[in-house]
Every structure is written in C-alpha cells, then in structure tokens.
C-alpha cells in the first residue's frame, strides 16, 4: 500500500498546476531552492513519497529530481536520498549565523557569580527521571490542563520546601514558573492589576529582576543593605506595595537578614498591607551548622516565596516555583493563563520524579560538598596570598564579596576587572550589581566559585590572587 | 568518612539550640510535624546523616527518633527509614486536594475541538530524542544564554518551516515560546511598547488569545468571517495596529483565506503599517491534494507567523515558535528577557533531535493519516444518518462545523450540547467560539475528531448522530 508507505516519509510543501505537472514541479522546486525557502542541505522526500502526496507518477518526480541534480540544485546520494545541494547560492545569501553565546564569557576562566557548574548537571539521573515521567504520565498531562502546574509536582514541592526550607504551604498555593524572572513578572502583573504602583528592591541585586518589575509598569525604589541584611525600616518611607528581599543570603553582599529585621519586615507587611517577595535563590547552599530557614514561615499570608532549580540544578531547565499567599493564587492563575497558559508537563513530571526518588536531595548534598570545598580553597588562598582582603558572604551560596584594601585603592573595581580580563579571567565588581544610584565607598569584587569546571578552578584563583596579592 | 556518606542522604531544616541538644531536637521535630511543615508520609534523614548535619552524636538523633516514634509522630520501618506518621493530625488539617482536572470533560466521550489525541503522544520516540539531547547538549545549554531560543532548534525550524509551510525565514528571526498564547502575549507587549493600542480578531476564534491581548492592555475589535475566510476589507475601518488571522483553516469555521484576500491583507499591512499575526495552529493537517501555504510568504516583513506543537504533538509540551519580521526581533527579545528569560533548553534540544531525526515528519504524517480516516468516517456517518447536515472545514484540521438544519431549529446550539452531555458526549456549539457580540443565524456545532481515544470515536459518533438524525 503506497499510501501507508508514504506515512513514514517527509513533508514538503509545493504548489503545482495541472496539466504540465512535470514543468510545474521542476519550476516549483527550483524556485524554492533559489529563493532560499529550501535551505542548502535540507533533505527532500523520496520520489515515491512525494509522488503519492502530489498524486503524480513516481517517474515524473524521479525525472525532475535527476534534472535538478544535473543542474547542481540537488544532490542524490545512494542510501541517503535527495537533498538540496550544500553549495547552492540562494538569493538570500547564506543563513546568518546565530552567535553561539550571548552572555558567556569568551575568557578561559570565569569567576562571575550566578551560575552553578553546568558541567556537573546530572544528565544520567535526569534522563532516568524523564524516562519514569514519560512512562508514568497520565494522558491528561499531554493536554491543556493545570494552569498553575502539575499536581504531582506541587505536592512534591510542598513536602520538600516544608522539610528543607521550613516553608509553610499546601500544594494548592504553589505555582510553577519558568524561572525567578517569570515568578516575579507574574506577581508584578497581578499586583499592578490590584492597583499597586511601587516595588522596593535591595540596593544591590540582580538587574534582571528590576527590569522584570519595570516591564510590568511598576515604579522601582531601593532600600539600603548593611551587615544585618536589608534596611527594612526604610520601607515605611518608600510607600512601596511590595519588596523583593534575599533574606537567606543577600545577593550579592552575602549577609543574612537578622532575626530582628525578619520580625520587623513581617510587621511592616502586616501594618501596610505590603507584600514581601522572598527570593530564596540559593537557600540550599549553606555550609555552617546553623541553618537559616525561609522568612516565609513568619508570615505565610504576607510572603510570596520564590524558589528555583537555577542554582541547585541548572538555569537552562527554566524550572522554578512561587509559594503564594492564599489571596494571590487566583490572580496569579489568571495572569499565567493569559500570558503563557500552563507549564511543560514533561519537565514538571521529570522534576517530580527527580525529587521523589531522592535524586534531588542527593544532587544538592553532593553539590554542597563540592562548593563548600571550593569556598574553603578560596578562603585558604586568600589567607596565604592576600590576608588583608576581607570576605563577606562566606557561610552560604556560590559567591563571596571581597573588599579591596587601601593598597589597591588606585583602582576602581571596573579597572581591576579589566585587568583580570586581560589575564583571561572574567570577574565582576560590586558596581555591576548596584541597583541604587550612587557610588560605593569601598571598591569590591563579587567572586563566584560555582561556575568553573573543576580543572579550571585553581588556575582561576591563581590569576585572581596574582592581582590581589601585595607586590 | 561519615561526611562523604552523608552526601547521599536527605536534607532537613531544623533549628536547635545548645546546650540541651536532645530536648531541643525533640521539640523542633515535634513542632515541625504538629504544625504541618513536615507533612504525613515525609521521609526523614537517617540518624547518621542528620547527626552529621547538626554536628550532634548519632545516638542523640536515634533516641529522639525512637521517642517520637513511641509517641506516634514518626514511624520507623526496617529498610525504609524513618518517616512522619501517615496518621498524624496536624494543626492545618490534611493538605487540600488539588482538583485533578481543571478543564477536562468528566463525560466519557469528547468531540470538542482543539486537542489532539493525547493517547497517541509518541512517548518512546520522545524519550529517544531526549536521550540524544541530553547526551549531545553542549554545557552552555544548561546556563543562562540564548533568550530567543537554542540556535540548534531555530536552525531546524527555519529549515522545517521553509520546507513544509513555505515560510520564508532565517533562524535569527525565530523566537521559541511556551505556546501560541505566549507568542501572542510577547508580540502584544512589544506592540504596546511601540504605541499600538488596538488589535483585530476574527469574529470567531479562541477566547484565550483575546484574553492574552487584553492582559497586555490592548483594545480588541473584530472583523467578520465568511466562506472565503476573514473579511480583511473591514480592517481599514477598525484602525487596528495588528490583526490575528487563521488563514490556512479559520478557527473554528474551517474556511481557508482566499488568494484574493491574502493579497488584500498584505496590501492593508503595507498601506497602514499594520502587523499580520498568522496563527498557523493546525497547518500540518491538510488532507486534500492542493496545499495551502503560509500567508507569511507573501509579506515576510509584515507577518509574524505563529506555529506550535500543540496540535502536531501535544499541548502539554508548551513548545511553540514565532517567526518575526526583522524589525520586531529585538523588541520581542527584550520582552521575553524581562518576563520569562529564556526557554527550557532540554525540551528545545529534544524537539531539535525529534525534527532532525525525521521523527517529527513521521509522527505528523502518521497522525494525518489517522485524522483523515476519522474525518472520512465522520463524513460517512453524516451521509448515512443525517445527510441534510452540511459540514464546513472538512479539507483540513481536526474539526468540522455542522450547520443544524431547520428541523432542529427548535434548539439553540447550547441546548443541543446540553442534550449531548446528558447522553455522555461533550461537544461545543459555535457560540462558544464567538468573539464578536451578537447571535448566529444558524445554530451550529463545532465537532472535533482529534481528541477521542481510538476505541471511543465510533461510540461518540453514535451519540452525536443519534441527536442529529431525523426521527
């Protein structure tokens, strides 16, 4: 049955006219190649399959293919079928190359913060979880349902976040998102639709989050940061409807929000009706014995808790979650439905299997050990080579802040970063993460130790301390 | 090495005080269970692992576990470790159940349009593609790069869309999205930021798209639809900045936009600077010999072409794309970056492998054969049992529209759908898809033949024609 056979072929869109099928087919194919619609290297259907699709004789197609091959438009190779010639010149010229990397450093060594070691992504374990997910997925997972996220994953996250981060929630208050930018974007849209106008950020942070709030039309203001975390007392003067905080490990200064300020900001939220948005971006990575739980526990009805796999697994997965106060769930559902609809069910079910099988805990604990050792090596290198450079933020996370001593005061941090770049090392100054206007008193570097491959970590430290060590 | 061993354990967040570790640990665990943070059934770390994490003696943890098990808070089972007791009563009460289905029909038979047969999702082939994707992914795929989408997939789509839908594009003009709602949402935001205020929709369509435009603050207007597709001549009077069209197979009426109107709407776009948004939601499914290519080919600089895997594979994947006019690429990139950042790399690379291996073509061609046979069975059933019921939209897609004859004029389409529901069949009237205000002259049903499982299709037709057949 030729029709059944054609089922396993290749699709090709061609408009031909009758009579004159042969001439018409030849012209249609030549034009499609010439004007670049059929790009060099594209495989064409077999003559049998195309003949069946177009309802013409197989020989007609075979003759047209042979003619165009003779003219150099197509190439035919035994066993691999007919394809558009790789050397053909199209009116478009060659397809523009997409630059392979948009942000990635072209330097051999990278100590910028914000990305875990992507070489350590557990490909095999993730594939096993994907296999289990695809095997066990109920058919409705492939449909349009569940705007907020798959129930299996939301149950698993409620348990996980309660156990590991002391988050108080139930599955029905969790929404799955494509990253913390997405969680924040949905929250800002929902707040704006309720009449909110202003959101406060810490004076230092990740510019992408500020951009997300502005994209939704919110005004942004800042509060200062000191050794006890964000100066939440400043919130009263801002008239902010919401504040984004990084309480466990301020990004990037590294301080934890003090117990007193945790109570104070919960009090601010209750007094003003403001919303606390807790960005727990690296809450899994704490190395000392005294854990710092989520602020959300203090005021579950005033805090939206944002978590992500971007540091614990990989940013490329785009898998994150927000734990919402009950009165925000329906608004966020409406926003998500009218902007992205739902989230990828296969990836959600894969993460669900990954968590339930214990693979997530194992991966986090293994990574924590690796990163703690890197942190220890970083501190040791400092102690040996530049003992007058103070660090902050060492008890947790994937980066530290180094305050530059007076002997390096001739340099701005940008100048020092340029100098590092000239020696092959990408590193950022604190200025890069400054949200508030103004200048810093002490030039500082934000040194990430998550990103490098294992073999690149020591050489990166060598370059860094070559710059920082006293002459 | 106990520390190494603990690497493979389970995480648990507990705050304990010293001295008095034993009492403190017992109280912390009891409170966490009592107040619902540790939910019934949650597995706890081994005593060895928790002791290492908290820096206390292993016996202390073991004794606390035993005490709490004796009190009924925990259960210990040989070989499966210690867990929170399933019978424990928390102050929260039990976790609320998330309703398993939000939209899915609770009826046994479903002839509503819009969803393919999710039972036919090629789980095995998709898993093979995922394996290849995870094996071949460059490390940077797991990082933060590529806001618009993975270059591999955008190259594959440029080739595929040129070959199969006659779309004229280069990879750098393609943006990956989480569905057509997401593509449209990003476009509306970008247009709004350029000063656009109004978008036109066809008088019949999918309400979710209208909601997406309104969420971004655009005013929505409608143009009528007739047997030659949308009445694009009406656009001049609307002052619309953009129009969303379904040219290949108007949703849901099923007409193709005529060649004359294709030229006319391209002319409108050039004359007014308006943008045509081409929603090619089911372009792969055309059953007659004369293909209908993408409108985009006529005016690549005035058309944003939207494609999706929601009909060809499954809506649950949330994998879609927009082919943009060159002057919109940077605006859409900014919008995507500040709302969702990038797209899931693993799923993108999986689709890339799926397309390049030929599996996508094979799946589409196999599905097309299955759906064409269903369409034929539907037409045959009509010819035998209700020959006076005219169909429109039969040459393509996954649904037809049935105009109800005068003998059924006593019923509105809603009434007929209620009657169908009482017999176990979910089906929608045309009214459900009416975007413009007003009433239809002829009550009609929109009958989808994609959704049912194979075994459910004939019984569903039986119920339908039991209602439509003359007595």
ipTM: 0.92
Q: What is the mean pLDDT of chain B?
A: 91
Instruction: Tell me which residues of chain A, numbers 97 to 116, contact chain B at a CB-CB cutoff of 8 Å.
Output: 98, 100-104, 114-115
From the list A103, A171, A178, the residue facing B144 with the nearest CB is A103
pLDDT value at A463 more than 70: yes
Distance from CA of B388 to the nearest CA of A (A): 31
Question: How many structural domains comprise chain B?
Answer: 3
DSSP A43: B
Same domain (yes/no): B366, B353: no
Question: Token pair for residue A154?
Answer: 């939301």
Instruction: Tell me which residues of chain B, numbers 409 to 468, contact chain A at a CB-CB cutoff of 8 Å.
Output: none
Chain A touched by B155 (CB under 8 Å): yes
Same domain (yes/no): B128, B68: no
Same domain (yes/no): B340, B459: no
Long-range CB contacts for residues A438-444, cutoff 8 Å, separation at least 24:
A440/A413, A442/A403, A442/A404, A443/A403, A443/A404, A443/A408, A443/A409, A443/A411, A443/A412, A443/A413, A443/A416, A444/A401, A444/A402, A444/A403, A444/A404, A444/A413
Same domain (yes/no): B338, B371: no
- Looking at per-residue pLDDT, the higher value among B289 and B336 belongs to B336
pLDDT digits (tens, 9 = 90+) for A326-374: 999 999 999 999 999 999 999 999 999 999 999 999 999 999 999 999 9
Tell me if B338 and A189 make a contact (CB, 8 A cut-off): no
pLDDT (0 to 100) of residue B352? 98
Nearest CA among B353, B165, B174, B364 for reference residue B248: B165
Using CA atoms, how far residue B467 sits from B134, B198, B279, B377, B404, in Å, is 51, 42, 33, 17, 11
Q: What is the CATH number of the domain that holds B77?
A: 1.10.10.10
Is residue A111 situated within a structural domain? Answer: no
Chain A touched by B81 (CB under 8 Å): no
Q: Which residue of chain A has the CA closest to B49? A: A365
Across B136-157, average pLDDT:
95
Q: What is the 3-state secondary structure (H, E, C) of B163-200?
A: HHHCCCCCHHHEEEECCHHHHHHHHHHHHHHCCCCEEE
Question: Token pair for residue B54?
Answer: 């908290």
Is residue A63 situated within a structural domain? Answer: yes
Is residue B211 situated within a structural domain? Answer: yes
Query: What residues of B are in contact with residue A315 (Cβ under 8 Å)?
Result: 142-144
Q: What is the mean pLDDT of chain A?
A: 91
Count residue pairs from A and B with Cβ separation < 8 A.
Answer: 325
From the list B3, B164, B358, the residue facing A13 with the nearest CB is B164
Predicted structure pTM score: 0.92
The answer to whether A401 and A386 have CB atoms below 8 angstroms apart is: no
Beta-carbon neighbour count of residue A323 at 10 Å?
A: 29
Last residue of a domain, one of A76, A94, A112: A94
pLDDT (0 to 100) of residue B1? 33
Same domain (yes/no): B298, B173: yes
Is residue A101 situated within a structural domain? Answer: no
- Looking at per-residue pLDDT, the higher value among B54 and B173 belongs to B173
**Which residues lie across from A225 on neighbouring strands?**
A230
Query: What residues of A are in contact with residue B337 (Cβ under 8 Å)?
Result: 181, 208, 211
Same domain (yes/no): B350, B370: no
pLDDT value at B203 more than 80: yes
pLDDT (0 to 100) of residue B8? 60
The answer to whether B456 and B372 have CB atoms below 8 angstroms apart is: no
Same domain (yes/no): B183, B330: yes
pLDDT value at B224 more than 50: yes
Is residue B117 situated within a structural domain? Answer: no
Mutate which of A144, A305, A315, A369 to test chain B, going by most B C-beta atoms within 10 A? A144
Across B122-138, average pLDDT:
97
**Rounded-to-10 torsion of CA A334, A340, A341, A344:** -140
Same domain (yes/no): A349, A368: no
| 3-state secondary structure at position B380 | helix
pLDDT value at B405 more than 80: yes
Is residue B201 situated within a structural domain? Answer: yes
Q: What is the CATH number of the domain that holds B139?
A: 3.40.640.10
* b/e burial code for range B148-176 (CB count within 10 A of at least 16 → b): bbbbbbbbbbbbbbbbbbbbbbbbbbbbb
pLDDT value at A42 more than 90: no
Question: Could you give the residue ranges of the DSSP H alpha helices within A201-299?
Answer: 207-215, 235-238, 259-272
pLDDT value at B431 more than 50: yes
From the list B55, B212, B365, the residue facing A289 with the nearest CB is B55
Domain range spanning residue B61? 3-94
Give the integer Cα–Cα distance in Å for B277 and B255: 17
Last residue of a domain, one of A308, A336, A357: A357
Is residue A110 situated within a structural domain? Answer: no
Same domain (yes/no): B220, B296: yes
Tell me if B123 and A134 make a contact (CB, 8 A cut-off): yes
The answer to whether A461 and A377 have CB atoms below 8 angstroms apart is: yes
Q: DSSP states of B236-283 as a string?
A: HHHT-SEEEE--SS-TTT-PPPPHHHHHHHHHHHHHH--EEEEE-TTT
pLDDT digits (tens, 9 = 90+) for A77-133: 777 789 998 877 666 665 566 655 455 567 899 999 999 999 999 999 999 999 999
Tell me if A344 and B189 make a contact (CB, 8 A cut-off): no
DSSP run (H or E) holding A156: helix A151-165
Q: Find the radius of gyration of the CA atoms of chain B.
A: 28
Tell me if B171 and A96 make a contact (CB, 8 A cut-off): yes
Is residue B109 situated within a structural domain? Answer: no
DSSP A317: G
Last residue of a domain, one of B320, B335, B357: B357
pLDDT (0 to 100) of residue A92? 61
Tell me if B7 and A164 make a contact (CB, 8 A cut-off): no
pLDDT digits (tens, 9 = 90+) for B251-301: 999 999 999 999 999 999 999 999 999 999 988 898 876 678 899 999 999
Same domain (yes/no): A382, A270: no
- Residue A4 banded pLDDT, cuts 50, 70, 90: very low
pLDDT (0 to 100) of residue B284? 87
Instruction: Tell me which residues of chain A, numbers 215 to 234, contact chain B at a CB-CB cutoff of 8 Å.
Output: 215
Same domain (yes/no): A336, A367: no
- Residue B97 banded pLDDT, cuts 50, 70, 90: low
Tell me if A338 and B14 make a contact (CB, 8 A cut-off): no
Distance from CA of A406 to the nearest CA of B (A): 35
Question: Token pair for residue B330?
Answer: 């940077």
DSSP run (H or E) holding B208: helix B207-215
Q: Tell me the residue length of chain B.
A: 471
- Residue A7 banded pLDDT, cuts 50, 70, 90: very low
Query: What residues of B are in contact with residue A293 (Cβ under 8 Å)?
Result: 13, 15
Same domain (yes/no): A418, A311: no
Using CA atoms, how far residue A69 sits from A9, A77, A90, A188, in Å, is 20, 10, 16, 58
Give the integer Cα–Cα distance in Å for B462 and B466: 6
For B377, half-sphere exposure in the C-beta direction (CA atoms, 13 angstrom radius) is 19
């Amino acid at each position: 049955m030729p029709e059944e056979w054609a089922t396993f072929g290749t699709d090709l869109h061609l408009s031909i006219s009758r009579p004159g099928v042969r001439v018409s087919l030849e012209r249609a194919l030549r034009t499609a190649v010439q004007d670049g619609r059929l790009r060099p290297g594209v495989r064409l259907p077999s003559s049998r399959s195309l003949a069946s699709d177009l309802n013409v004789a197989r020989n007609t197609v075979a003759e047209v293919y042979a003619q165009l091959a003779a003219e150099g438009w197509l190439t035919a190779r035994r066993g691999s079928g007919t394809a558009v010639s790789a050397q053909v010149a199209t009116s478009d010229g060659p397809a523009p190359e997409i630059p392979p990397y948009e942000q990635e450093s072209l330097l051999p060594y990278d100590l910028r913060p914000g990305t875990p070691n992507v070489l350590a992504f557990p490909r095999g374990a993730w594939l096993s979880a994907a296999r289990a997910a695809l095997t066990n997925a109920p058919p409705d997972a492939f449909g349009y349902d569940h705007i907020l996220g798959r129930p299996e994953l939301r149950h698993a996250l409620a348990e996980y976040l309660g156990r590991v981060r002391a988050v108080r929630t139930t599955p029905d208050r969790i929404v799955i998102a494509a990253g913390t930018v997405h969680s924040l974007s949905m929250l800002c849209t929902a707040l704006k639709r309720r009449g909110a106008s202003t959101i406060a950020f810490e004076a230092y942070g990740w510019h992408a989050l500020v951009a997300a709030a502005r994209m939704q039309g919110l005004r942004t203001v800042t509060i200062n940061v000191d050794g006890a975390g964000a100066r939440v007392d400043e919130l009263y003067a801002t008239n902010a409807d919401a504040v984004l905080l990084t309480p466990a490990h301020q990004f990037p200064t590294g301080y934890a929000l003090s117990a007193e300020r945790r109570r104070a900001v919960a009090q601010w939220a209750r007094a003003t009706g403001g919303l606390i948005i807790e960005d727990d971006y690296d809450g899994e990575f704490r190395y000392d014995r005294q854990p710092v739980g989520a602020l959300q526990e203090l005021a579950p009805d005033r805090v939206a808790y944002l978590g992500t796999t971007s540091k614990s697994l990989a940013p490329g997965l785009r898998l994150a979650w927000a734990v919402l106060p009950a009165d925000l769930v329906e608004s966020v559902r409406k926003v998500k439905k009218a902007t992205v609809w739902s989230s990828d069910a296969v990836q959600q079910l894969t993460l669900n299997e990954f968590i339930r099988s214990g693979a997530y805990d194992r991966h986090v604990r293994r990574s924590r050990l690796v990163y703690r050792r890197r942190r220890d090596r970083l501190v040791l290198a400092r102690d040996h080579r530049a003992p007058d450079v103070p660090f902050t933020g060492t008890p947790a996370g994937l980066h530290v802040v180094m305050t530059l001593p007076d002997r390096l005061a001739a340099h701005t941090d940008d100048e020092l970063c340029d100098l590092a770049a000239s020696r092959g090392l990408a590193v950022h100054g604190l200025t890069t993460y400054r949200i508030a206007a103004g200048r810093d008193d002490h030039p500082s570097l934000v040194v990430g130790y998550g990103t490098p491959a294992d073999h690149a970590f020591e050489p990166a430290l060598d370059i860094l301390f070559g710059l920082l060590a006293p002459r």
